[in-house]
Amino acid sequence: MIGGGVAGTFAAAALADRGIDVVRLDDGDPSASAACLGHGLPGVVEAPHRTAGSLGETRMAELLGLVRASREVLGEHAIPGLAWRSERPEAELDADVATLRRHGLSAERVAGGWTCADAFSVHPREVLAAWGARSRRVSARALEVRTERNKLRVLTTHEPWSCELVVFACGWRAPAVERWFEERVVPVREQALGLAATERGAVRTGQGWTAWSSGEISGCRWASPHLEVGETAPVPTEAVQRRLREAAEREGIEVLGPARAWIEAHTCDGLPFVGPLPGDVRRLALVGFCGNDWGLAPGAADQLARGLIDGTAPAGVCAPGRMF
């Protein structure tokens, strides 16, 4: 298992629970990925009705099936209910709710957004510690994966490892280890600011963007001309943090701090890669959850593990083979 974030931790645990000998390679801070927001979104970061419009109803159902699977894997660790605030037109927010309801999720319109009882939040450090204890972690970073004498050989910053199969769950670093991910997985820096608790519960707000096939990007992200795409240093910036403070003031919420930043793995089409890489069934992807690691990765990890045992294919909407 290359990577020790949300995806790698859950996949290693799922495989270990099924009796497979797993080594999780990760030289980072075991709690580093817990710096992100512990939100499980219903789908991807893009608006639900837009996602459904792009994917079609069948593939949208597969994507939302991963959200249900993630919540099932998390069990009592999943705190139900999430609200989404947006400045998009009311008609679009209505369409979001209609889409979620059409796929069996409990969604309600509220002023300036919607709520979804089937979305959830978690306490990241607590959950990662619980699942991380179920597999063996080795402090080393994978550098390259080679095929030698019908075995896979993983070169690391320490000793090499020989194995039967490799799961790439190393987030935005995946292109440095496996060339297939080049130009398909990119780093994006996200930032957050600690606020006082409110009776409204977990709430997300913000804006996103669309990457076009021409290579152009449209849309916006607060105070960041390049949308934070390509950033690999998890360091908060004053420009973005100022906008977050201003948003908190408009909502009347006290700012407590601290400022946080983390790096997410986004993909060229906004969907994760889950399953065997084209041409080599022993190299599997579990990467590119585009900021919705908690909503998708636990369920995807469980599907991947079950597939290795009984041959069940993961959700086709996330198959790496879609790139061809």
Residue 240 covered by a domain: no
pLDDT in tens, 100-130: 999 999 999 998 889 999 999 998 889 999 9
Give the ranges where 2-150 is alpha helix by DSSP (H).
6-17, 48-55, 57-74, 90-102, 124-132
Pairing of strands 39-40, 113-121: antiparallel
CB 285 within 8 A of CB 275: yes
**Res. 29: pLDDT tops 80:** no
Residue 11 covered by a domain: no
Report the pLDDT value the prediction gives residue 85, as an integer from 0 to 100. 80
pLDDT, average across residues 222-238: 79
Report the pLDDT value the prediction gives residue 216, as an integer from 0 to 100. 55
Which of residues 174 and 88 earns the better pLDDT score? Answer: 174
- The end-to-end CA distance of the chain, in Å, is 25
Report the pLDDT value the prediction gives residue 112, as an integer from 0 to 100. 84
**Res. 324: pLDDT tops 60:** yes
Number of independent structural domains in the chain: 1
**Res. 78: pLDDT tops 90:** yes
Q: How far apart are CA 233 and CA 225, in angstroms?
A: 17
Question: What is the side-by-side strand order in the sheet with 151-156?
Answer: 142-148, 151-156, 161-163
> pLDDT tier at 209 (50, 70, 90 boundaries)?
very low
Residue 80 covered by a domain: yes
Residue 129 covered by a domain: no
Report the pLDDT value the prediction gives residue 211, as an integer from 0 to 100. 47
Q: How far apart are CA 28 and CA 26, in angstroms?
A: 6
> pLDDT tier at 43 (50, 70, 90 boundaries)?
confident
Residue 60 covered by a domain: yes
- The whole-model pTM stands at 0.89
Residue 64 covered by a domain: yes
Residue 282 covered by a domain: no
**Res. 227: pLDDT tops 80:** no
Structural domain harbouring 97:
39-121
Report the pLDDT value the prediction gives residue 193, as an integer from 0 to 100. 82
Q: How far apart are CA 121 and CA 42, in angstroms?
A: 11
Residue 66 covered by a domain: yes
Place of tokens 């991963």: 66
**Res. 152: pLDDT tops 90:** yes
Cross-strand bridge partners of residue 292: none
**Res. 221: pLDDT tops 60:** no
